[in-house]
Amino acid sequence: DAGVIQSPRHEVTEMGQEVTLRCKPISGHDYLFWYRQTMMRGLELLIYFNNNVPIDDSGMPEDRFSAKMPNASFSTLKIQPSEPRDSAVYFCASSLTRGSTGELFFGEGSRLTVL
């Protein structure tokens, strides 16, 4: 089975540009998470969805960040406008609650560099 698929793997952009990160969760999983990883702050939970509905977005740093999940197989994280401090690795993860013990399956991440 395919794992969690993220794109792009690497993105370099200039300050002020819009950035869209994409995620395809594992088929059948009902939770989807977006994390951000930096050296300074470690792994931060930005937002998570359950059955395509955003449940908790308290980790989203600013209004410049938004996330959507239009269907069970696709989610986006958008940053508009981007700033250099947004440079980080962004991970998407999914999990299955029914019969599960809470294991998260992570994608390989999208490394964002904002110049």
Partner 1 sequence: AQSVTQPDIHITVSEGASLELRCNYSYGATPYLFWYVQSPGQGLQLLLKYFSGDTLVQGIKGFEAEFKRSQSSFNLRKPSVHWSDAAEYFCAVGAQGGSYIPTFGRGTSLIVHP
The contact set with partner 1 (CB under 8 A) reads 4, 33, 42-43, 45, 48, 56, 91, 93, 97, 101-109
Show the tokens assigned to 112.
């964002």
- DSSP designation for 5: E
Quick one: 63 or 99, whose CB is closer to partner 1?
A: 99
Which residue matches tokens 């197989």? 73
Report in angstroms how near the CB of residue 111 gets to partner 1 at its nearest: 8
Quick one: 10 or 16, whose CB is closer to partner 1?
A: 10
Report in angstroms how near the CB of residue 61 gets to partner 1 at its nearest: 17
Contacts of 20 (CB under 8 A, 6+ apart): 76, 77, 78
**CA-to-CA distance for 105 and 86, rounded, in angstroms?**
24
Do residues 36 and 47 touch, judged by C-beta distance below 8 A?
Answer: no
Show the tokens assigned to 16.
């002020």
Quick one: 63 or 102, whose CB is closer to partner 1?
A: 102
Quick one: 42 or 70, whose CB is closer to partner 1?
A: 42
Report in angstroms how near the CB of residue 10 gets to partner 1 at its nearest: 10
